[in-house]
Copies of this chain bind each other. A is one copy, B any other.
């Protein structure tokens, strides 16, 4: 959908980046035509983007960078309020050094609370574990979109595609001890949706035991083009 009168445009007026890793930032390189939008992120994530000259294709005449602090509500578009909060995570893969502090809360991995018309949605695409403060924060959400990267912590190794555990990658598993599946039991969350799902995760497979398990526990599995009504 083009904006009225524009030959080249998209309806995207505002972008919010919650993490500096490639799966969050590379898409910026396809938003680079001469189109105005605002780019919101924490100072830490903006620093990462600024440290990569390739992102200078985001022409400052068209792209306005807005540094957003954790805990500071802002309006990415009229009528919608967003607020960032730190979640346990780690620095992007390509900035890892020999010692990686997985699970620290910093500006490098954030979740976002979106509020409009009195309804609240939380978007948390990466989370290494769930502290009580996070549980309390989302206890009464109308919708929770949560890190569904892997079903079991050793999934990459079991599938023969990598050595790292999910937790080492900054992603807690869905199942097992300390998994996300039952972590929010008792909370008054109206809709729970797994997002950011790795291609090794069997919840992608219709009819799999794993998909049945998450659905039986009250979770939906997100898909491209999904609509949510709050």
Contacts and interface: CB of A to CB of B under 8 A. Distances in A.
Interface stretch (A73-81, A131-139, A145-153, A155-163): A155-163
B7 A160 contact: yes
Interface in A176-226: none
Interface stretch (A50-58, A109-117, A121-129): A50-58
Contacts of A162: 34
A1 interface: no
A228 interface: no
A30 B94 CA distance: 14
Contacts of A95: 53, 56
Oligomer: number of copies? 2
A89 to B, nearest CB: 17
A93 interface: yes
Interface string A159-178: 11110000000000000000
Contacts of A8: 161
Nearest to A162: B34
Contacts of A230: none
Interface in A73-100: 93-95
Given A8-B161, A161-B7, A93 B34 contact: no
Q: Determine the main DSSP class of A at the interface with B.
A: helix
A8 B161 CA distance: 7
A32 interface: yes
Contacts of A55: 94
Given A26-B29, A29-B22, A94 B161 contact: no
A25 interface: yes
22 contacts: A7-B159, A7-B160, A8-B161, A22-B29, A22-B32, A22-B57, A25-B54, A26-B29, A26-B30, A26-B54, A33-B161, A34-B161, A34-B162, A48-B53, A51-B53, A52-B52, A52-B53, A53-B95, A54-B54, A56-B94, A56-B95, A57-B94
Given A22-B32, A54-B54, 4 more contacts: A7-B159, A7-B161, A52-B54, A53-B94
